[in-house]
Amino acid sequence: MKSYLSLASKYLTAHKKKTRLVIISVALSVALVTGIFSMLDFFLQFEKIQQIHEYGNYHLGVKDATNEEKQAITSRMDVKNAGTWISFRNGNLNGKECRLAAVDQKFAPNMQITLLEGRYPVAENEMILEAWAAENLHLKVGDVAKITFAGNTEKKFVISGICSDYGNTKAKGMPGVYLSIAGANEVNAEKSTGLLIEFKDGININDVQKAIQSSLKLADSRIIRNEYLLSVMGYGKSNTVIGLYSTGAVLFCIILIAGVMMIYNTFNISVMERVQQFGLLRCIGASRSQIKKLVKREGLHITLRAIPIGVLAGMLLAFLCCGILKYYNRSLFGEMPLFNFSIAGTIAGIAIGVFTVFIASSRPAKKAARVSPVNAATGSNEIKISKKKKQGRLTKMFHVEVAMGINNAVVKKKTLFLMSCSIAISIVLFLGFQVFVDFMHSSLKTTKPYTPDISLTSEQGLSNSLYEKLSDLSGIKKVYGRMFGYVDATFHASRLTDAYKQIIGNVQVEDNGLFIPPEKSWLISYDKNQLNWAKTDLIEGELSEEKLNVKHGIIAVAHPLRNGVSIETAALQLGDKVYIQTPDGTKEMTVMAILRTVPFNDSVPSLTTFITTEKLFTELTGESTIRIIDIQLDSSGQEQTVSEIKGMLDDSIAFYDQRQKNAEINGYFLTMAVFIYGFVAVIALISVLNIVNTMNTSVASKTRYLGVMRAVGMSGAQLDKMVLVEALTYSLTGCIVGCIMGIALQKVLIYNFLPRLFTIWKFPYVQIVLILILILLVTVISIISPLKRIKAWGIAEIIS
């Protein structure tokens, strides 16, 4: 031994088991921090790819840029790529409504336009279109197509190439058509022109925006911002997106705190256990500062061993997430390397590990240094208790082992606080993240059972024979139809919301309290299946076809879509009367259920949306032809079935292929879900480890005490019970606090931070039961091995 400081490493080697435990828990915390940072880093990278795919790879745009402006912008050092984008308000391709745009060839890849065959349009009379549309309209390279622009200008174009499908336009049945810039400039129709700019990496886009705006004197109204992409990159200004990300940031910080707390707790326990040992060192002449140095040296040893393991494990954790994503979404994330190395994550893990161990070792070091040598030598200062006398009520209420278990936990206020906090934090986080998961489940349509693969619509109505034929077709899972129409419906004027009144202006109210409908309402029919599926969106009431039919029931929709935006127009309650104009006069209907929203959008603005049964729909409107048929396909042989379906349709029927869009939304859902559930798993792990760790050390530090209890006559079962009750006191306290705070957080998140998402808060029974079961299970498991160890020792060995 060269210096007294080598005592630290000697101690660690001598107590291999204990050292391993401390190293493992520090390493795990470091792993969690590294993992979380790497996951966040990767998540942003994945999100960026998603957003670029969805909205295009540009950061800013300048509307109606003049040539000088274009020149000035493209010649900037920080601009990576820029190109003109021209989009037309509407247009028709061979009589079919299409999305018309033009983009510079060099900027086409940024806008996700990939040429499959032919060449990019250059001449004034050239165009390209999506592959699915070309197939549908029987067009190929070299053909001539007719485009009708707004204002009925007609023009013929030669198809110079075919580009890849785009999920959104495919689902809407609107072919995406791209002209050449020269051609688009020639056309005299309503259009918007802009210069889209992609900046180089590492440029502060908000600063550049200011610089460009001031140097070129551009008004704010002329700037287009790709908010979704900018938000992911950290330059966001849109409230909804920032709200979503900042909520995520808050939750993320809590995770960080939990990780730091765990390292602190572990190290604290490990040092505090040996206070007596340090006191003995003081007895033989160690100074206070020497003790401090010794404790810190020990921390250093542990850090050096734990951090590399932790960082490696954390990286593996993040790889796992990336692996899952890459596996499920090869097309989108194919370019992402599997073994992505997050520098930010690694640095964060190391920094936080070192920092926390430093903090965690300096406080106990001070405490250890303060131990009086006398107390240490006699061992008389084991537990400090207040001077209060004790009446001993607990032992009168419960069996003594139960009472002592509770007492043991309650007496150590600091441990109780730390343990409960750590458990509570995890529960709060779990419940907080639940809001996101719920939001994703309810907002992303493809996660629902009624999402169609193919939709057919027709103005004239679809015949029953077609419906039957489709139902009989092999390769089809489900076919379901809906009727819809517009009716004049009125109800008590007080139910109209202010938001709606603002849109409409003055609403006339009659003497009987009913208003004169300023707009028609959308009425949709549901069959039994659809009523059943709608239950996931049910806020209040009951969805029974029989009851609706008997009682003239109608279903109100709380947040219908108006021009594609979710809005609350009428706050109808259960039992409200709705009066609908029918060919046979006014009919009184009763609101028997309220749905959160419907998965349909209509281009015609309507007062609100009502749903009823097929029978009542026919009674109310006199119509019985289906206007929409949704089809779900079997997973295999889809192309064959699709072409068979196409063969059954005539020109009046519009065919919407939703599959690609659904797959894209599913992919998006998966990206979010993998990371969110990854986070939740990490949080749960922190908690579980904390419980296990604390119970392990708690039992180990009370070895002697438990030995005495056994000598006095406590049986093995009683011992188990006592320790279990102590553990349960910790975990249940944390559980109760966590559930209360978690529910409060859910409410705050839903009503204050994310009111635009229209999620409805429900008491999370399932989650709470799940939490309880998990916590109980972990608590029981956590005490098994330490108790086993204790029992393996003879009583005489322990107490003498």
Partner 1 sequence: MMDILITENLCKTYGTGETKVDALKNASFSVAKGEFVAVVGPSGSGKSTLLNLLGALDTPTSGKVFLDGKDIFTMKEKDLSVFRRRNIGFIFQAYNLVPELNVEENIILPLLLDYRKPDKSYIDELLDVLGLAERKHHLPNQLSGGQQQRVAIGRALATRPAIILADEPTGNLDTKNSRDVVSLMKLSVERYHQTLIMITHNQSYTSFADRVLSVEDGVVTDLEGVRK
Residue number with CB closer to partner 1 (752 or 800):
800
Smallest separation, CB 379 to partner 1 (Å):
8
Of the residues 708, 737, 760, 776, which one makes contact with partner 1 according to CB under 8 A:
708
Smallest distance, partner 1 to C-beta of residue 735, A: 23
| Local structure of residue 516 (DSSP, 8 states) | P
Q: Which residues, other chains included, contact 66 with Cβ-Cβ below 8 Å and sequence gap of 6+?
A: none
Candidates 648, 711, 770, 777: give the one binding partner 1 (CB under 8 A): 711
How far CA 562 is from CA of 217, 312, 538, 557, 572, in Å, comes to 37, 51, 20, 12, 17
For position 789 contacting partner 1 by CB under 8 A, the verdict is: no
Cβ-based nearer residue to partner 1, 395 or 624: 395
Residues forming beta bridges with residue 144, ordered by sequence position:
158
What is the b/e burial string over 353-379, where b = at least 16 CB atoms within 10 angstroms of the residue's CB? bbebbeebbeebbebbbebebeebeee
Tokens at 72, concatenated: 């000035």
Residue 504 touching partner 1 (CB under 8 A): no
718 sits near partner 1 (criterion: CB under 8 A): yes
Going by DSSP bridges, is the β-strand pair 79-88/454-462 parallel, antiparallel, or unpaired?
unpaired
Name which of 304, 290, 365, 275 is nearest 5 in CA terms: 290
Footprint of partner 1 on 540-559 (CB under 8 A):
none
Tell me the angle at which helices 716-748 and 765-792 cross, rounded to the nearest 10 degrees.
150
Q: Does 792 bind partner 1 (CB under 8 A)?
A: no
Per CB under 8 A, which region of 71-79, 134-142, 605-613, 713-721 contacts partner 1? 713-721
CB-based contacts of 98, cutoff 8 Å, min separation 6 = 91, 92, 129, 133, 147, 174, 175, 176, 177
Nearer to partner 1 by Cβ, of 398 and 655: the residue is: 398
- Taking the complex as a whole, how short is the minimal distance between the CB of residue 794 and partner 1, in angstroms? 5
CA atoms within 13 A of residue 111's CA, in its CB half-sphere:
24
**Residue 510 to residue 503: CA distance in whole angstroms:** 20
Q: In 3D, which of 434, 445, 431, 388 has the Cα closest to residue 411?
A: 388
Count CA within 13 A, CB hemisphere, residue 255.
31
- In the bound state with partner 1, the residue whose beta carbon lies nearer, of 260 and 695, is 695
CB of 737: closest distance to partner 1 in angstroms? 23
- Residues near 471 by Cβ (< 8 Å), separated by ≥ 6? 479
Three-state secondary structure readout of 344-397 = HHHHHHHHHHHHHHHHHHHHHHHHHHHCCHHHHHHCCCCCCCCCCCCCCCHHHH
Cβ 347 to partner 1 shortest distance, Å? 46
Taking the least distance from each CB to partner 1, the nearer of 385 and 550 is: 385
**Closer Cβ to partner 1, 290 or 381, answer by number:** 381
* Region near partner 1 per CB under 8 A, out of 145-153, 333-341, 627-635, 711-719: 711-719
Smallest gap, in angstroms, from Cβ of residue 713 to partner 1?
Answer: 2
Binding to partner 1 (CB under 8 A) within 348-387 occurs at: 379-380, 382-385, 387
Measured from the CB of residue 800, what is the shortest distance to partner 1 in angstroms? Answer: 6
User: Which C-beta is closer to partner 1: that of 487 or that of 714?
Assistant: 714
Of 116 and 708, nearer to partner 1 (C-beta) is 708
Question: Which one, 206 or 395, has the nearer CB to partner 1?
Answer: 395
Nearer to partner 1, 380 or 752 (CB): 380
715 makes contact with partner 1 (CB under 8 A): yes
Q: CB of residue 411 vs partner 1: minimum separation in angstroms?
A: 5
- In the structure encoding, which two tokens stand for residue 669, read together? 């859902």
521-526 and 577-582 strand pairing? unpaired
Number of residues that bind partner 1 (CB under 8 A): 37
Q: Decide if residue 17 touches partner 1 (CB under 8 A).
A: no
Shortest distance in whole angstroms from residue 395 CB to partner 1 = 5
Binding partner 1 by CB under 8 A: which of 710, 724, 745, 787? 710
Residue from 709, 732, 783, 790 touching partner 1 (CB under 8 A): that is: 709
The Cα–Cα gap between 677 and 437 comes to 8
Q: Which is nearer to partner 1, 219 or 712 (CB)?
A: 712
In which residue are the tokens 């007294």 written? 4
Q: Which of 713, 763, 788, 792 binds partner 1 (CB under 8 A)?
A: 713
**Interface stretch with partner 1, choices 35-43, 139-147, 625-633, 792-800 (CB under 8 A):** 792-800
The secondary structure of 326-341 as a DSSP string is HHH-HHHHTTS-SS--
Which residues in 153-212 contact partner 1 (CB under 8 A)? none
Residue number with CB closer to partner 1 (56 or 707): 707
Residue 372 or 529 having the CB closest to partner 1: 372
Establish if 279 lies at the interface with partner 1 (CB under 8 A): no
State the SS3 of 130-172.
EHHHHHHCCCCCCCEEEEEECCCCEEEEEEEEEECCCHHHHHH
**Shortest distance, CB of residue 788 to partner 1, whole angstroms?**
13
Our CB check for partner 1 shows the closer of 62 and 404 to be 404
Of the pair 125, 395, the CB lying nearest partner 1 is at 395
Closest separation in Å from C-beta 799 to partner 1: 7
CB of residue 718 vs partner 1: minimum separation in angstroms?
Answer: 6
**Nearer CB in complex with partner 1: 546/797:** 797
The CB-of-396 to partner 1 minimum distance in angstroms stands at 10
Q: Does 390 bind partner 1 (CB under 8 A)?
A: yes
CB-based contacts of 108, cutoff 8 Å, min separation 6: 83, 115, 120, 178
Cα(62)–Cα(194) distance, rounded to whole angstroms? Answer: 5
Instruction: Show the site string, 398-427: x = touches partner 1 by CB under 8 A, - = not.
Output: -xxx--x--xx--x----------------
Secondary structure element (H or E) that encloses residue 97, with its range: strand 96-103
**Cβ 282 to partner 1 shortest distance, Å:** 21
28 half-sphere exposure, CB direction, 13 A CA radius: 25
Binding of partner 1 by 705 (CB under 8 A): yes
Residue at token pair 């209907």: 589
684 vs 795, which CB is nearer to partner 1?
A: 795
Least Å from the CB of residue 666 to partner 1: 57
Query: How far lies 375's CA from each of 274, 276, 382, 383, in Å?
Result: 13, 8, 9, 11
In one-letter notation, the amino acid at residue 209 is Q
Q: Is beta strand 476-482 parallel, antiparallel or unpaired with respect to 96-103?
A: unpaired
In the list 1, 219, 565, 717, the residue contacting partner 1 (rule: CB under 8 A) is 717
Residues 6 or more apart whose Cβ sits within 8 Å of residue 461: 623, 625, 626, 627
Nearest to 650 by CA among 784, 371, 460, 786: 460
**Smallest gap from residue 712 Cβ to partner 1 (A):** 5
Among the listed residues 3, 221, 331, 391, the single contact to partner 1 using CB under 8 A: 391
Whose Cβ is closer to partner 1: residue 106's or residue 704's?
A: 704
Tell which one of 75, 474, 636, 800 touches partner 1 (CB under 8 A): 800
Binding-site ranges for partner 1 (CB under 8 A): 379-380, 382-385, 387, 389-392, 395, 399-401, 404, 407-408, 411, 705, 708-718, 794-797, 799-800
